[in-house]
């Protein structure tokens, strides 16, 4: 452990709060650089001559945390702007590691009309520092000690945030590609995500692409927002544990990229937002798929996932409907994510990832060309957008569909899908690769029996086949006293980063309708 490793005591702080830094390193003096990361990186402070000693890595550190001593306490200046802040701890040779914190607005002081909620629960679920995350024992998989199935058996159901981050996940290597097949696969060739040459050179973990801020979806959206004068206040998933009304002052709230893991308190905050007349803008895919809870004063995330029914100690207690962990669409909770977002990954899936629609166009096909979100786009029925980005890729949310008498797609049931959902555009998606294909699988299929039972009421061959025939859906609907727009894909922010005129205009239409000013930069 020759590098300095560290973690802050909190995910999110306000101006005037004190942040404590816990660290372990070869004995010596170190410095900490604090930078705000947005459309530019702004160095805000450097703390010199931090004394650090070597600490131990406890057994089961992924679940128990490091318990390292505090080496620095830092008070956040009152004039620092809300946003994502990178922490870089390094020695005299400049070699170091990164962590982060979020700076939220001070109590009762919203500065902007809109807020973004950073998907820090998802960051936590993917963090494999110490060896394992909520998916697998990643380090054993990378060392070749176990195969993919064996690594998944060692996934953790409890994850401590009191530890460092795997650096490939938190701070991408230069040139890291997106997690999507860059082009449709050729005849007879196995599909491959990303760039084979880059992958061979850097040997990243398969989990490095799926979460965190820098160089990924939220960062791309923030850059677009700052360059276009869209002011945002920043919160994290964990901030939503504080109370249901925390988002009520905002006209709109953004979820961007891969906001996959949600607690009951976070769902309550969005319900309260809608009752207060606020709006939800979902530029995310696989949104609110897994139900989690925070334990030990917010230090440990319980995320038993597929094993919730067997491993979660709250399963079967009177609290199960609120605090048990599994898929949000599990009927035990009576609160499917589609009630909040309009869509679900259960009815969508992957596009241009492995063999999951591996030759897909990566474009949305427009159906409801009269929808308000398309005003001024010059788009008409059957037009396709975003294929060159790719706009539809990685993970996508959808709903069961049927064709009405007008020849247009409309929702056809689905657990929690609202009847008044307006479908704007579609693209094919699937939850897993064809098991009969002759190519090595890339996409973990999950527990297909559970998926079929939850999505369609029973595990049988017909319902398993239905899981393979999903759709990415762009849609909107009214909820409470507010409204929801859902882009239905993880990749929407990359459309903005690419300067796609259709994605840009649709985004502006959504912001204008939902009361978010554009072009009011400081």
**pLDDT tens per residue, range 374-407:** 999 999 999 999 999 999 999 999 999 999 999 9
pLDDT for position 319: 67
The predicted model gives 111-122 an average pLDDT of 96
Q: What are phi and psi of 34, to 5 degrees?
A: -120, 120
Are 70 and 135 spatial neighbours (Cβ–Cβ below 8 Å)? Answer: no
Of 126 and 203, which is predicted with more confidence?
A: 126
Span 217-289+338-513: which CATH code? 3.40.50
Are 452 and 467 spatial neighbours (Cβ–Cβ below 8 Å)? Answer: yes
Residues of the chain with CATH 2.60.40.10: 5-103
The predicted model gives 290-305 an average pLDDT of 97
Burial (CB < 10 A; 0-12, 13-18, 19+), residue 108, is exposed
Q: Is 467 helix (H, G, I), strand (E, B) or coil?
A: helix
> pLDDT confidence of 1, banded at 50, 70, 90?
low
CA atoms within 13 Å, Cβ hemisphere of 83? 24
- This model's pTM is above 0.75: yes
Task: Write the CA distances from 260 to 36, 73, 163, 393, 498, integer angstroms.
Answer: 25, 32, 21, 16, 24
Q: Does position 507 have pLDDT exceeding 70, yes or no?
A: yes
Task: Write the CA distances from 43 to 96, 356, 372, integer angstroms.
Answer: 16, 42, 41
> pLDDT confidence of 522, banded at 50, 70, 90?
very low
Positive or negative torsion for Cα 296, 298, 300, 302 = positive
Residues of the chain with CATH 3.40.50: 217-289+338-513
Q: Is 139 helix (H, G, I), strand (E, B) or coil?
A: helix
Q: What is the mean pLDDT of the chain?
A: 95
pLDDT tens, 126-142?
Answer: 999 999 999 999 999 99
Task: Write the CA distances from 145 to 29, 89, 114, 138, 202, integer angstroms.
Answer: 37, 31, 47, 10, 19
Are 273 and 250 spatial neighbours (Cβ–Cβ below 8 Å)? Answer: yes
Question: Residue 222 has which token pair?
Answer: 């923030």
Highest mean pLDDT among 308-312, 446-450, 498-502: 498-502
Strands 482-486 and 279-284: parallel
Are 260 and 212 spatial neighbours (Cβ–Cβ below 8 Å)? Answer: no
Fold of 5-103: Immunoglobulin-like (2.60.40)
Cα(36)–Cα(23) distance, integer angstroms: 21
Are 5 and 57 spatial neighbours (Cβ–Cβ below 8 Å)? Answer: no
- Token pair 């990229």 is found at 257
Could you tell me the strand order of the sheet in which 41-52 lies?
A: 12-13, 96-103, 83-90, 28-37, 41-52
> pLDDT confidence of 191, banded at 50, 70, 90?
confident
Q: Does position 322 have pLDDT exceeding 90, yes or no?
A: no
pLDDT for position 143: 94
Among 463, 466, 464, 383, CA closest to 427:
383
Question: Residue 519 has which token pair?
Answer: 């072009």
Cα(303)–Cα(388) distance, integer angstroms: 36
pLDDT tens, 178-190?
Answer: 989 988 888 888 8
Cα(199)–Cα(182) distance, integer angstroms: 13
The predicted model gives 254-264 an average pLDDT of 98
Q: Does position 109 have pLDDT exceeding 80, yes or no?
A: no
> pLDDT confidence of 111, banded at 50, 70, 90?
confident
Are 353 and 364 spatial neighbours (Cβ–Cβ below 8 Å)? Answer: no
Q: What are phi and psi of 492, to 5 degrees?
A: -55, -40
> pLDDT confidence of 520, banded at 50, 70, 90?
low
The predicted model gives 256-262 an average pLDDT of 98
């Amino acid at each position: 452990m020759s590098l300095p490793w560290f973690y802050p005591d909190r995910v999110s702080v306000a101006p005037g709060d004190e942040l404590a830094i816990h660290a372990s390193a070869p004995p010596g003096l170190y410095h900490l650089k604090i930078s705000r990361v947005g459309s530019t990186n702004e160095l805000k402070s450097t703390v010199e001559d931090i004394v650090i000693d070597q600490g131990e890595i406890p057994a089961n550190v992924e679940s128990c945390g490091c318990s390292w001593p505090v080496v620095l306490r830092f008070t956040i200046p009152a004039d620092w702007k809300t946003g994502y802040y990178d922490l870089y701890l390094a020695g005299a040779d400049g070699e170091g590691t990164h962590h982060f914190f979020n700076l939220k607005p001070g109590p009762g002081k919203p500065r902007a009309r809109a807020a973004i909620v950073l998907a820090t629960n998802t960051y936590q679920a993917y963090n494999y520092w110490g060896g394992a995350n909520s998916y697998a024992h990643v380090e054993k998989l990378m060392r070749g000690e176990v195969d993919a199935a064996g690594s998944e058996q060692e996934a953790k159901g409890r994850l401590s945030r009191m530890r460092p981050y795997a650096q490939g996940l938190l701070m991408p290597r230069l040139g890291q590609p997106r997690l999507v097949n860059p082009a449709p696969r050729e005849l007879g060739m196995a599909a491959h995500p990303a760039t084979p040459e880059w992958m061979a050179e850097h040997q990243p973990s398969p989990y490095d692409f799926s979460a965190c801020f820098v160089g990924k979806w939220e960062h791309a959206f923030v850059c677009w927002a700052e360059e276009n004068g869209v002011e945002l206040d920043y919160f994290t998933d964990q901030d939503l544990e504080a109370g249901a009304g925390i988002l009520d002052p905002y006209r709109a709230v953004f979820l961007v990229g891969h906001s996959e893991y949600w607690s009951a308190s976070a769902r309550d905050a969005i319900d309260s937002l809608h009752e207060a007349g606020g709006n939800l803008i979902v530029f995310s895919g696989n949104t609110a798929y897994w139900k989690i809870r925070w334990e030990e004063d917010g230090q440990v995330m319980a995320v038993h996932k597929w094993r919730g029914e067997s491993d979660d100690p709250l399963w079967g207690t009177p609290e199960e409907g609120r605090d048990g962990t599994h898929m949000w669409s599990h009927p035990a909770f009576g609160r499917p994510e589609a009630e909040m977002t309009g869509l679900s990954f259960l009815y969508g899936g992957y596009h241009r990832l492995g063999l999951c629609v591996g030759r897909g166009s990566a474009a949305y096909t427009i159906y409801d060309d009269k929808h308000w979100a398309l005003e001024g786009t010059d788009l008409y029925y059957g037009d396709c957008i975003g294929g060159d980005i790719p706009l539809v890729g990685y993970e996508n949310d959808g709903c069961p569909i049927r064709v009405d008498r007008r020849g247009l797609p409309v929702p056809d049931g689905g657990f929690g899908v609202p009847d008044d959902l307006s479908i704007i555009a579609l693209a094919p998606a699937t939850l897993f690769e064809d098991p009969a294909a002759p190519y090595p699988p890339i996409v973990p299929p999950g527990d297909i029996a559970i998926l079929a039972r939850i999505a369609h009421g029973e595990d049988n061959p017909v319902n398993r086949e239905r899981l393979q025939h999903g759709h990415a859906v762009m849609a909107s609907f009214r909820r409470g006293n507010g409204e929801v727009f859902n882009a239905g894909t993880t990749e929407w922010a990359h459309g903005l980063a690419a300067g796609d005129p259709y994605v840009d205009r649709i985004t502006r239409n959504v912001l204008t309708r939902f009361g978010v000013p554009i072009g009011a930069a400081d």
